[in-house]
Amino acid sequence: MENGAGSVGVVVVTHNSEATIGACLSAVVAEAADIVVVDTASTDHTVDLVRQHGVRVITGENHGFGSACNRGAGLLETEFLFFLNPDAVVHRGTPSRLLEVAIEARANRMETALSPLFDDDLDGECFRLWHYSAERAIAKLMRRSPIDPVSLFGTSLFRPQRLSGAALFLEREVFSRSGGFDERFFLYWEDADLSVRLARAGVELLVVPDAMAGHVRAASTGRLPDIDEIRGRSSLMFVRKHRSRAQLWIAGLDLALVTLVGCLVLCVRGDLRAARRRARRWRALAYLFSSDQNATGRETKR
């Protein structure tokens, strides 16, 4: 593909992603007009591997996933953007199929933001938008699907509650007009926030079932020592931004109780190391009493 009408540019944000970045790039390189990798202070061989694939890589400090995505998008001139996690591997033809749906939707005067269906999550759980653990548990118990089948312009699609930042496809103009990812989210929930803002602006959120991708979840983030705290703070920030103050406090109580139960279960199993790590989620509760709108207290490193 070449830059211009119908061109697709891929943005990949890496952080110590040497185990997965090669497969990610190999799967998408033939169907992209341009690819930019934004590396956020990796200390392994990620950057060298990217360069071996002949892909442009931008290095710098780690100001968070959303910030790096915005930086990468600003370097591309393609008509469409495809944000990919370094641990996501698209199936052959997926970028082209997403492009076909986006162009067909535009011909029907519809702006869209799209995600493929993940082959390890055919029920679409990653597209569920929930605020409290009880809400999520009840929805799963009652088998309420987070993706509803819909037929648009003769195409069978799914309408999700939210999209996944692991593989997110949309027009560059739509992304720019939305303001991009909110950089106050250091990691997690930034895709849900963008989904909500896009939907409120009239953009149709859709999952394309015949566009597929694999996803090795948390390949990089799972090793971060304070990932539980970051995840908790991001979830509270999302509720604070899009829900009421009362709902924020309910979400905080929910986080505290779920963390307590999780720690007790891990202690009973004898996994004290995991219990101590899980207990770090309680630090996120300080966000309830803070005027700081950022989802993490750290500036550059995670």
pLDDT in tens, 31-90: 999 999 999 999 999 999 999 999 999 999 999 999 999 999 999 999 999 999 999 999
Single-letter code of the amino acid located at 52: Q
pTM: 0.90
CATH label of the domain that carries residue 166:
3.90.550.10
For residue 5, the tally of other CB atoms under 10 A from its CB is: 9
In this structure, are 200 and 71 located in the same domain? yes
**CB contact at 8 A, 208 and 117:** yes
Q: Which domain holds residue 265?
A: 224-289
Q: For residue 302, is it within any domain?
A: no
Q: For residue 121, is it within any domain?
A: yes
Could you tell me which residues come within 8 angstroms of residue 182 by beta carbon, excluding any fewer than 6 positions away? 66, 190, 193, 194, 241
In this structure, are 130 and 78 located in the same domain? yes
Among 164, 183, 215, the domain-final residue is: 215
pLDDT in tens, 178-225: 999 999 999 999 999 999 999 999 999 999 999 999 988 655 555 566
Q: Read off the pLDDT band of 294 (50, 70, 90).
A: low
Long-range Cβ pairs for the range 150-157 (8 Å, 24+): 150/206, 152/105, 152/108, 152/110, 152/204, 152/206, 153/104, 153/105, 153/107, 153/108, 153/110, 155/101, 155/104, 156/209, 157/101, 157/206, 157/207, 157/208, 157/209
In this structure, are 268 and 192 located in the same domain? no
Q: For residue 99, is it within any domain?
A: yes
Q: Is the pLDDT of residue 95 over 70?
A: yes
In this structure, are 26 and 151 located in the same domain? yes
Q: For residue 136, is it within any domain?
A: yes
Buried b (16+ CB within 10 A) or exposed e, 138-151: ebeeeeebbbeeee
In this structure, are 183 and 264 located in the same domain? no
Taking CA atoms, 62 is separated from 86, 102, 230, in Å, by 15, 32, 14
Torsion of CA 241, 123, 115, 222, to 10 degrees: 70
Among 196, 215, 234, the domain-final residue is: 215
Q: What angle do CA 46, 51, 55 make, to 5 degrees?
A: 110
In this structure, are 46 and 149 located in the same domain? yes
In this structure, are 150 and 38 located in the same domain? yes
Among 215, 237, 261, the domain-final residue is: 215
pLDDT at 182: 97
Q: For residue 298, is it within any domain?
A: no
In this structure, are 211 and 232 located in the same domain? no
Q: For residue 297, is it within any domain?
A: no
Q: For residue 256, is it within any domain?
A: yes
Q: Is the pLDDT of residue 267 over 70?
A: yes
In this structure, are 17 and 102 located in the same domain? yes
In this structure, are 13 and 155 located in the same domain? yes
In this structure, are 157 and 15 located in the same domain? yes
Q: What does 94-159 look like in DSSP terms, one character per residue? A: HHHHHHHHHHHHHHTT--EEEEEEETT-TT-GGG---SSHHHHHHHHHTT--SEEEEEETTEEEEE
Q: For residue 295, is it within any domain?
A: no
Split into its structural domains, the chain has a count of 2
In this structure, are 132 and 236 located in the same domain? no
Lowest mean per-residue pLDDT among 30-34, 67-71, 164-168, 290-294: 290-294
pLDDT at 299: 42
**Three-state DSSP class for 171?**
strand
Single-letter code of the amino acid located at 90: V
